[in-house]
Amino acid sequence: METEKESSHRKGVVTISKGALAELPACEFPGKIFIVDSLDKLPRAIEILKSSPLIGFDTETRPSFKKGQQYKVSLVQLSTPEVCFLFRINQIGFPVELKQILEDDSILKIGVSIHDDFHNLAKITEFTPQSFIDLQSYVKDFRIIDNSLARIYAILFNQRISKGQRLTNWEAESLSEAQQAYAALDAFACIKIYTHLKEGKFNPQTSPYLTIPEEALTETNPSAESPSEG
């Protein structure tokens, strides 16, 4: 009997090439951005986040260009469908209220490669993350084999998430508008991807990025690779 993995392989997988990704139009964060760079701004942010049943999650860290030099997480992004909060933890530390949001099992949090984020945040404070979904695993049920947020988003929405701000200084005195928009979009995109898939709006079989592996085609038509007899 054919296994589920073999059946999926025969039907094809969904992936986008680097060239196709580069040709897509860039997308923008559609909501509001609220920077939490002082503790007096914390209560309002936490109040709104606690009222949201679904939150997009991401972090940013100042890049290092010297061997052996490493920085701690600079920014934690938590986004609802309407507003993204940028917690500048390099300036305000890791407040217990923020920790409680990450540990709240009644609030579903969506991210990408979240275990790397957890590992880096654990260098700042101990916490036990609860109710997180990693899109890298979640999208596999929809035969999407790409792992990056940008590629997954492009497959679903035919738009490109620009990564031009990724290696900028996230510990700058103030974040530029471009940095803010980039950071907010990364967290918001996680919500949009999860909701789109959860609501059954994506069909792998009709995706323009569906790829049938060559060996699967050969298996479907064994004579295709066979020399003619005569």
Regarding beta strands 32-36 and 83-87, do their DSSP bridges make them parallel or antiparallel, or are they unpaired?
parallel
Give pLDDT tens digits along the chain (230 positions): 444 444 555 679 999 999 999 999 999 999 999 999 999 999 999 999 999 999 999 999 998 877 877 889 999 999 999 999 999 999 999 999 999 999 999 999 999 999 999 999 999 999 999 999 999 999 999 999 999 999 999 999 999 999 888 889 999 999 999 999 999 999 999 999 999 999 999 999 999 999 986 555 455 454 444 443 33
Write the CB contacts of 78 (distance below 8 Å, at least 6 apart in sequence). 49, 55, 56, 57, 84, 85, 87, 101, 109, 187
Is 40 strand, coil or helix?
A: helix
Query: Closest Cα to residue 145, out of 53, 39, 38, 8?
Result: 8
Phi, psi (5° rounding) for residue 46? -65, -40
User: How many angstroms separate the first and last alpha carbons of the chain?
Assistant: 35
Tokens of 226: 């066979």
28: number of Cβ within 10 Å: 10
**Cα-Cα-Cα-Cα dihedral sign, residues 132, 135, 141, 147:** negative
